[in-house]
Amino acid sequence: MATIKIAPVNRLEGHLDVDATTANDGFSEVVTDVKNMVVMFRGMENIMQKRDPRDAPIIAPRT
């Protein structure tokens, strides 16, 4: 059994970490559990609050 942590995962738009757990099933090490973590937070929803609704199409695409 082993754990593999990949941080950061690159070649994508954003920040991503991956934690994988492996176990030996008698033949080889197989992945038994994977956790993805998005490790960046901006709170776009908070920023969108209390604004003119017409601002939304200007702000929301910039995620």
Partner 1 sequence: MNFNITRRQFLQYCTASAAALGLSQTDLLKLEKALAAPQKACTQPSPSVIWLTAQACSGCPVSLLNRVNSYEGNPYYDADMLNALYGLGLPTPGALGNDMAGLPLQVVNDAADLLVGDAVRAVVPGLTRSNLWSDDMSGVLPGSLLDAYAGAFPTGYVTLEWNSTVMAAAGDLPAGHLQRIRNGAGILGVFVLVVDGAIPAANGNYCFVFDNVDDTGAAVLTGSGSYPSVALGAPVTANAALQWLATSPGCIGIVAQGTCASYGGIPGGAGNRTGATGVKAFLQSKGIATPVINVPGCPPHPDWTVYPVAYILAMSQPGNLQYPPMDQYGRPTAVYSGSTGDSVTPFCHDCPNKDTQGTPQAAQKLGDAGCLGSKGCKGQYTVGDCPKRGKNTTDDGFSMNWCVGASGQNSNPGSWSCSHIGEARHPCQGCIMPDFPDWKGLTNAGDKTSKRVKGFYNS
Q: How far is the CB of 26 from partner 1 (least distance, A)?
A: 27
Q: Is omega for the bond preceding 57 within 30 degrees of 0, making it cis?
A: no
SS3 at position 24: strand
Q: How far is the CB of 56 from partner 1 (least distance, A)?
A: 10
Residue 44 binds to partner 1 (criterion: CB under 8 A): yes
Residue 13 binds to partner 1 (criterion: CB under 8 A): yes
Q: Tell me which of 2, 14, 34, 36 binds partner 1, using CB under 8 A.
A: 14
The token pair that represents 39 in the structure block = 């490790």
